Amino acid sequence: MNTYLRILSFAKPYRRYIPQYLVFATLSIIFGLINFTMLIPLFNVLFDQVDESTRAQMQHLPAFQFSIDYVLKVFDYYFMQVIEEYGKVGALLFVCAIIVVSVFLTNLFRYISGITLAKIRASVIQKLRMRIFEKTSQLHLGYFSNERKGDLISRMTNDVQEVENSVVNTLKVAFKEPATIIGYFLVLFFMSFKLTIFTIIIMPISGTIISEITKKLKRKATQSQESLGRIVNILDETLSGMRIVKAFNAQPFIRDKFGHEVKHYAGLNVAMARKQELASPLSEFMGVMVVAGILLYGGILVLNNNSELKASEFITYIILFSQILPPAKVISTALSSIQRGLASGERIFHTIDTQPAIQDKPGARSIDVFKHNIVFDHVSFSYEKETVLRDISFTIEKGKTVAIVGPSGGGKSTLADLIPRFYDPEAGTIFLDGIPLTDYKTESIRKLMGIVTQESILFNDTVFNNIAFGMPQASLEDVIRAAKIANAHDFIVNTPEGYETVIGERGTKLSGGQRQRISIARAILKNPPILILDEATSALDSESEKLVQEALANLMRNRTSIVIAHRLSTIQHAHEILVVQQGEIIERGRHDELVERGGLYCKLTEMQAVS
C-alpha cells in the first residue's frame, strides 16, 4: 500500500485535474443508471402494466423532496402526459429518445473523464521517469560499478512502463468502478431491499478467492522484472562488444546465455499468467452464479407474489445487477495485475531512495578561482574491502605538471578520481587552496577541472554538440577555435556536414585519434585551470599520438596538470613524477633524477625503450 501511495504522490502537482475527473466520472455513472431505469416504463408500456390506480397517481406532479422517488414520480408524470397525448407508440418513442440522449451523455462524460485521467497518468509517469533519471545521474561512480547497467536501464524504461500499465491505469478503479457499483446498489436497494441483501451476502465469496490469488503474484512479478533487467544487460553488453563476440566466435556462448535468461523470464511470465488470467474468468463465473441465484430466488418470490417487484421491475433489477459485473471484473483484474506494477515500483524506489555517497555538506562554499595548490595529506582509499591507496601525501602547485606512473592496478586512476570528488578518501584529507575538498560544493570544484581519459567519451550527436558538451552558451567560433588548438579542425571540415556531422554512438564514425582530439577540444573549450589527463594517448598509433600529444601540449600550457601516463616519453618534462605501486608512492622526482636512482621508474623507462 505504501508503494501504491508513493506512486500516486507524483500526481500532487496535477490535483487540479482530479475534481474534473470526479465530476465527469460521476455524471457518466448517473446517466448510465438512467439508461437502465428507463427500462421500467418501457416494459410497462410494452406489457400494458400501467393500471388505473397507477395512472391516477401519475396524473399529479409530486411535491419536491430530495430523493430518487421524487425524480421517478416526476418522470412518471411527464411520461403519462406523453401517453395520453401521443399514445403507446409516442410513449415508446419518448422513452427511446431519452435512452439515446442518456447513452450519448454517458459516453461523452466517460470520454472526457478518460482524457482527464490520461493527463494525470502521463504527468505522473513523466515525473516518475524524470525523478529516477535525475537520481541516477546524481549517484556516485561506485554505485555504477556495483549495479548492472542493463538493470538500471530496465528500471527507467520497463519498470516505469509497468507502473503505468498496471498501477496508474488503475486510478479509475479507485473511484469510477467502486462508485459505479455503489450507484447501482443504491438503485437496487431502492427497488428491493430483501433481494439486494441476499446478493450482498453471497458476493464476498468470489472476492475472497480472488484476493488469495493476488497475494501470490507479487513475488513472481519482482523476479520477472529482475530477469528482464538481466536480459537488457546482456543485450547492452553484446551490442557494445559485438566486435569481440565475433572475433572469438562467441556467438553460441552469448546465444545460450541470452536464451537461458529469456527462457527463465518466459517461465516466470507463464507462472504469473496462470494466476493473473484466473482472476477475470473466476470473477465473471462467480458473478454469473450470483445472478443465477438472484434469478432463482427473486423469480420464486415474484411468481408466488411474495415480492414488492412487478415482473417488469424484476427484469430491470436483473439487468441492473448484471451491470455490476463488468466493473467488479475490472476491479478484480486490476487487483491481480497491480502486483506487477507494485513490484516495479519497489525497484524504482530502491534506486530513488539510494543516497549518493558524495554529497555536499550543509553550508558548503563555492570556489570560483584556483589560486595556490592541491594537497594530498595522508590519503587512503578502499573499494569495499580492497585497499587501493595507502597514506598518500604530495602537493601540486598551481601551474605545475605532476605525472603519475606505475604498473597497472596500482591506484593511479583512483588517485586522480579523488580530485574532482568522484570518490572521497576513507582517511586523510585533500586540500584545495588550503580548504578541504569536502567543504566546497562539488559542482564548483568540477567547474575548475577538465578531464581527458584514455577512452574518449563521446555521444551520438554532432561534432559541435560533442565539443560544446555542458556549455550551452558556446558559439560556433568558440568551438572552431578550440578544435584548431586541438588539431581537430582540419579533419572536422572534411567530414560530410562539418561541425554538424553526427559522429555515431560513442563516436564510432571517427578514428581513435580523431575521437581523442574531439575530447581534447571539449576540454580546451571549457578552459579549466586544472587539467586531469588519464592515459590520454595510450591507445593511439604513433601518427595519431603525435597529433594528440601536440594538442595536449597546447591544452596544458599555463595550466595545473595531473597526468597519468603509460608512455613515459610523454611526461619527461613534468615538474614532478610520482611512481605509484600497490597504492603507495615509492618514488618521486623529476625524470632525470629518477633515472639516475635506478629504481622502478628507471626499469619502466628501459623496458619501454627496448620495446
Domain that holds residue 285: 193-357
Q: Could you give the number of structural domains in the chain?
A: 3
What's 313's domain CATH number? Answer: 1.20.1560.10
Residue 512: CB partners within 8 Å, gap ≥ 6? 456, 539, 540, 541, 544
Query: Looking at the structure, do residues 421 and 344 belong to the same domain, yes or no?
Result: no
pLDDT (0 to 100) of residue 47: 54
Domain boundary residue, one of 138, 155, 174 = 138
Average per-residue pLDDT for the chain: 78
Residue 236's contacts (CB-CB under 8 Å, 6 or more residues apart) are 149, 150, 153
- Per-residue pLDDT of 23-61, as tens digits, reads 887 888 777 777 666 666 655 555 555 556 656 666 667
pLDDT at 526 over 60: yes
pLDDT at 9: 74
Amino acid sitting at position 246: K
Q: What is the DSSP string of 191-224?
A: H-HHHHHHHHHHTHHHHHHHHHHHHTHHHHHHHH
Please give the distance of CA 524 from its chain centroid, rounded to a whole number: 35
Q: Are residues 273 and 220 in the same domain?
A: yes
> Rounded distance, CA 326 to CA 318, Å?
14
Residue 327 inside a domain? The answer is yes
Say if residue 119 is in the same domain as residue 213: no
Of all residues in the chain, the percent with pLDDT exceeding 90 is 4
Structural domain includes residue 269 = yes
381 within a domain of the structure (yes/no): yes
Is residue 73 in some structural domain? yes
- Asked whether residue 400 falls in the same domain as residue 540, the answer is yes
CA 30 to mean position of chain CA atoms: 37
Domain boundary among 332, 357, 382: 357
Residue 522: inside a domain: yes
Give the Cβ contact number of residue 158 at 10 Å: 18
Residue 176: which of 8, 330, 339 has the closest Cα?
330
Whether the per-residue pLDDT at 339 is higher than 80: the answer is: no
User: In this model, does residue 13 exceed pLDDT 70?
Assistant: no
533 and 596: one domain? yes
Pair (406, 450) in one structural domain: yes
- Inter-CA distances, 414 with 141, 481, 600, Å: 11, 32, 20
Residue 188 is assigned to a structural domain of this protein: no
pTM, two decimals, is 0.66
Do 539 and 398 lie in one domain? The reply is yes
479 and 411 housed in the same domain: yes
In a shared domain, residues 128 and 213 = no
Last residue in a domain, options 298, 323, 357: 357
State pLDDT tens for residues 360-389: 888 889 988 888 899 999 999 988 778 889
Q: Is 517 a domain residue? A: yes
In a domain, 154, yes or no: no
Helix (H) or strand (E) segment spanning residue 559:
none
207 and 299 part of one domain: yes
Residue 518's pLDDT band (cuts 50, 70, 90): confident
Q: Give the CATH number for residue 442.
A: 3.40.50.300
Q: Are 394 and 535 in the same domain? A: yes
Same domain, 441 and 578: yes
